[in-house]
Chain A
Amino acid sequence: GENVEQHPSTLSVQEGDSAVIKCTYSDSASNYFPWYKQELGKRPQLIIDIRSNVGEKKDQRIAVTLNKTAKHFSLHITETQPEDSAVYFCAASIPRNTDKLIFGTGTRLQVFP
């Protein structure tokens, strides 16, 4: 069935370092890939998304890359700050199904000062 694998499950970095989270999706027809950040006790918040007609998208310290051939997409956070600490979820749209997203299992990012 459709699924999204996400790695790593936990990631610890020093403030100022970069962090990379990787996801792999199964259905080559998926065309929309959002990333959500969820702080403890809070709602998931969209931080960046990418569509299949684009290979890379950047927003300040955050970037997402998409490799359609390999069915991989990655989140890159540069110059990490303690407030980046949260759980990050990737997701992929499910083709042939009304706006359904399949979420990855999440990555807990800890940024140490």
Chain B
Amino acid sequence: DTEVTQTPKHLVMGMTNKKSLKCEQHMGHRAMYWYKQKAKKPPELMFVYSYEKLSINESVPSRFSPECPNSSLLNLHLHALQPEDSALYLCASSLIAGVNVGETQYFGPGTRLLVL
């Protein structure tokens, strides 16, 4: 398996809902990332997990809660989101992570989230 997969593809939720996004890879990668992408903008890093430990949190609001249950899975739990959180949420993975290692990041297809 040479791909990063994400579920669901689309998600519509109200501001009081709780939902989760799921990301999976079976390439043996030990670094996984969550990005947020607004229309016509580049991906914006949210979180990095390295060897199942959270290594970067880009000052993301607590209504987004990441979880890495094992080296193949990455979740993003959503609670009490705002309409401005509507975006494409991309997961990515790379072989390893480290200071200035420069490993290629492979992206999943994303979850398109709409918050009403």
Q: Enumerate chain A interface residues (CB-CB to B < 8 A).
A: 29, 31-32, 34, 36, 42-46, 49, 51, 87, 89, 93-101, 103-106
A to B CB contacts below 8 Å, 23 in the list: A31-B102, A32-B102, A43-B90, A43-B108, A43-B109, A49-B104, A89-B42, A93-B100, A95-B99, A95-B100, A98-B31, A98-B55, A98-B97, A99-B48, A99-B50, A99-B101, A99-B105, A101-B45, A101-B105, A103-B43, A105-B41, A105-B42, A106-B41
Q: Tell me the complex Cα distance, A89–B102, Å.
A: 16
Contact with A along B39-55 (1 / 0, CB 8 A): 01111010010100001
Q: By the criterion CB–CB under 8 Å, are B43 and A100 in contact?
A: no
Number of A-B residue pairs with CB-CB distance less than 8 Å in the complex they form: 68
Given contacts A29-B100, A34-B105, A46-B106, contact A99 B43 (CB under 8 A): no
Q: Enumerate chain B interface residues (CB-CB to A < 8 A).
A: 31, 40-43, 45, 48, 50, 55-56, 90, 94, 97-110
Q: Tell me the complex Cα distance, A101–B94, Å.
A: 12
Chain A residues near B31: list those with CB within 8 A: 98-99
Q: Tell me the complex Cα distance, A103–B90, Å.
A: 14
